Amino acid sequence: MKKPYTLPLTEKRNRRTRNIDELSTLQIVDMINSEDMRVAPAVAKERKHIAAAIDLVVERFRKGGRMFYVGAGTSGRLGVLDASECPPTFGVSPRLVQGIIAGGHRALVRSVEGAEDHAEDGAAAIDSKNIKATDIVVGLAACGMTPYVHGALRRARRLGAGTVFVTCAPEAKKNIPADVIINPVVGPEVITGSTRMKAGTATKLVLNTITTSVMIKLGKVYGNLMVDLQAANEKLRDRSLRIVMEMTQLRRSQAKRLLARAAGRVKPAIVMHFRKVDLRGALKILDDCDQLLRKAIKE
């Protein structure tokens, strides 16, 4: 006997916004804002699962693994976005965190309808990345049912990779193949089924929390300063200089000379200052201290 179909929460109508088309512009803005206020508390309720995912990622990274986001539509774009922001923010290789989106690069700027419907394509995407047991795959699907994402997660599990799934549909949890499931329940959308709204915001918050926390635990941050940033433009060069000035209490001209001796790299520059060594010596100290700046300068 066929099981009755259960409509996911992300596809249900929101009773609070049924008359949104009759409201004034300001009332529409207020209504959307009031719905958005439900997102952060929903994410907060998943704090333990988010922490479990972070620890799983850190464990895999320390074994030389990589992380792959897999999603379709809005979820896929958010994964690619988060992955693309890790290298400039934390100075990591673009290979460490990667985004896979159904439909490929074209789907980043234009909807590719139907790309998410084939589980075998998700599995093939995983195969194309040569996934190993040290890697981790994070599935992203607001509705929790996207075949492309499920196909990718099932293949990743068979290969021994760690798996995490982020969804806003509580009904889907029992059918999700993942080690850790993160399920912020934000309720039906302002516009029925438009998961680029609350579900998208919740997903963005979760991904920000995961990668930021992972990088903190890997020593990419000192206090709340991004000491491993890549100074690829004028704004980031100025930020690098300000971080060195704040950490060392040097004047701007002195900090600029120190950064030049450190080939523009903030973390080694700080070690050079406190440990009175050259760049090669600073790099060795950092390696000996597992790249943890606090440990490197304390010792």
Catalytic residue positions?
85, 116
Give the Cα separation of 172 and 8 in Å (integer): 7
Give the β-pairing of 67-71 and 136-140: parallel
Give the Cα separation of 289 and 19 in Å (integer): 59
Give the Cα separation of 82 and 214 in Å (integer): 13
Query: Would you say how long the chain is, in residues?
Result: 299
Give the Cα separation of 175 and 167 in Å (integer): 12
| Cα torsion 277, 262, 212, 129: sign | negative
Question: CB–CB of 178/164 below 8 Å?
Answer: yes
* CA triple 94-142-192, angle to 5 deg: 135
